[in-house]
Amino acid sequence: MNDLRDQAIPGQVIGESTFGAFSLRLQDNIAIVSINLAGEAQNIIKTGFVDDISRLFDQLAQTAGLGGVIFTSGKPGSFIAGADIRMLADCSNAAEATALARSGQAFCDRIAAFPVPVVAAIDGVCLGGGLEFALACHGRVCSDDAKTRLGLPEVQLGLLPGSGGTQRLPRLIGPLAALDMMLTGRKLRPMQALQRGLVDDVVPASILLRAARKRLEELRSGNPDKRHKSLLSQLLEGNPLGRTLLFNQARKRTRGKTQGHYPAPERIINCVEYGLQRGISTGLQFEAENFGELSQTPQARQLMQLYFAVTALKKDRGVADTVKPRTIKRIAVLGAGLMGAGIAYVSSARAGVPVRLKDQDSAGLQRGLAYVQRQLEQRRKRRSITAYEATQQRNRITPCTDFSGFQGVDLVIEAVFEDLTLKQQIVRDIEQHCRPDTLFATNTSSIPLAR
């Protein structure tokens, strides 16, 4: 992950100022705004965010000769991860939650109405209110980094996007693709976002700001729309009968899945349909009211509590806070069966860690590697990864039938079949071929570890 704060756009830097989480510097006639929320691992929308961005845009509005604005992040891996759920949990009634949504809509409206182009340069997670922030911008470019994800996952909390998402997303990518994103909470990878028209370009993080500058110039020259809509989307947009069919089918499928137990999905459909029928201003008010009402439902309240509990568990490492986690740079997996091959695949593809995969013979290794290849090929066909990325991830796995190279691994994971004698021998082998500080993990399920 590249630190975007170190990127440079040719030109003279003229002054720098800070507005809470926003740091502004003027370069030529372009405002480069870095988002860096103090005291947080990720950028999130918290209390004071609206005031900060209002002061920022007050300053930008007074900047003579301003040609455009680029928003980027001062936190590698995080553009804006979403809103602080605690703000919503603190709302005691629907009216307070509606007002909270309206405040989010207000700052997005100000971005959308700004008289010069505004482009979001997205590197890392851009979710919930963060994506609604980006949707309000006139253009969006994102990095091809593995951590970059874009989505509106509010439905997973029993809510709907409350800062304009139900109104701007359908207008950008079409109601069909927008409903798919919002009803599932699906997080899109960079190329998926590009294919759907959610972003205008995908580039390496090292040139993200240059791509944002290029997009600004395109917008200034009168090329606002780079989307390539599908034929189905084109038929549905501007076709009232087609849209009616779309929304009716969406409701039918949703009711079949939820059985009426979760109100949020149908409210999302209602908001999209209402806004397309009556205009974005009326649609935003309708969205905020539905957001407020949903926030007080038992489903949303319980899902928010579950979210807080899961977040707390993730922070609890099971050891004292003074204990520092070890960095795992290389691992070894013993056994290339379904479990071992699966561990090797996840370690390489998801964690990006080199793996030595050991089995007793080449036939077992070939079966394990074939499994890994199938998983990678499925992801490539879904366009989750490119062919190059699939090759990279496959090449991180080195097959072997002996313990060569085990001296350099930090973690060994045993995934052989349940045989006490074999597992005891494996422990002796690891003690012989690995460093004393190597971590050893076992997948045994039926044999007591004490044996």
> Active-site residue numbers?
83, 129, 132, 154
Long-range contacts of 293-298 (CB under 8 A, 24+ apart): 293/94, 293/98, 293/267, 294/158, 294/159, 294/160, 294/263, 294/264, 294/267, 295/88, 295/91, 295/94, 295/97, 295/159, 296/91, 296/93, 296/94, 296/97, 297/158, 297/263
Q: Are strands 187-188 and 149-151 parallel, antiparallel or unpaired?
A: antiparallel
H helix intervals, 62-186: 85-89, 94-112, 129-136, 165-173, 175-184
- DSSP letters for 303-325: HHHHHHHHHHHHH--SS-TTPPP
Q: Are strands 149-151 and 13-19 parallel, antiparallel or unpaired?
A: unpaired
How many Å apart are CA 165 and CA 171, to the nearest integer? 10
Q: Beta-carbon neighbour count of residue 204 at 10 Å?
A: 11
How many Å apart are CA 203 and CA 144, to the nearest integer? 6
Contact between 81 and 130 under an 8 Å Cβ cutoff? The reply is yes
Q: Which helix (H) or strand (E) holds 194?
A: helix 190-195
User: End-to-end distance of the chain based on CA atoms, in angstroms?
Assistant: 44
Instruction: Name the CA radius of gyration of the chain, rounded.
Output: 25
5, 46, 56, 76, 82 from 72: Cα distances, Å: 9, 18, 14, 10, 15
How distant is the alpha carbon of residue 293 from its chain centre?
Answer: 27
Name the β-bridge partners of 126: 80, 150
How many Å apart are CA 172 and CA 56, to the nearest integer? 26
How many Å apart are CA 332 and CA 341, to the nearest integer? 11
Using CB atoms within 10 Å of the CB of residue 173, give its burial: 0 to 12 exposed, 13 to 18 middle, 19+ buried: buried
